[in-house]
Amino acid sequence: MDSIYLIGSLCLLSQIAGLHAEDVKCVEAKPSIEAIIGDDVSLPCFFSNPSEIQGMASVSWQMGLGNDSIVVHAEDKAGVNVESQADVFKGRTSLSHSWNVTGNASLTITQIKATDSGKYICFIKGQYFAISCTRLELTVRSGAFQPCGHLSAWIVLLLLPLTKILT
């Protein structure tokens, strides 16, 4: 009898709470993004049903996994910081405007540094749940000329003398 009462109470509580983790659907993002030192980069994070979680949602972007993770950016629907942001990201991050209305919780990191390379996770949090909506790897490059990465530049450089010979 007690277990029936407990199950009934949990069901009632979940109905009162409204939204559950399974009600929030995440849009899959690219698993990796590249950026160049000094540039700005946007890390995508999109979710469904933003209007249903407006009253109790927050977004938390973290870098790293498990106990080694650090908070890159975290805020509630009013834009109030809800977690302690790592010093290396202070003043360099922002979420999409009105993320709690649009479902676009993409993170912009400005003035990218080599140390920004790593694994990032976007968490959407409600009163009774937290789900990882996006997991991706950010690779930061120096922006220096890379011979293998710029094959078209090599072709132009090699063909230029050939055109002078033929004319």
Between 161 and 142, whose confidence is greater? 142
pLDDT at 16: 38
Q: What is the pLDDT of residues 102-138, one digit of tens each?
A: 889 999 999 999 999 999 999 988 877 888 889 999 9
SS3 per-residue string spanning the chain? CHHHHHHHHHHHHHHHHCCCHHHCCEECCCCEEEEECCCCEEECCEECCHHHHHHHCEEEEEECCHHHCEEEEEEECCCCECCCCCHHHCCCEEECCCHHHHCECCEEECCCCHHHCEEEEEEEECCCCEEEEEEEEEEEECCCCCCCCCHHHHHHHHHHHHHHHHC
Is position 128 within any domain?
A: yes
Task: Identify the CATH number of the domain in which residue 69 sits.
Answer: 2.60.40.10
Range of the structural domain that residue 65 is part of: 20-143
Is position 58 within any domain?
A: yes
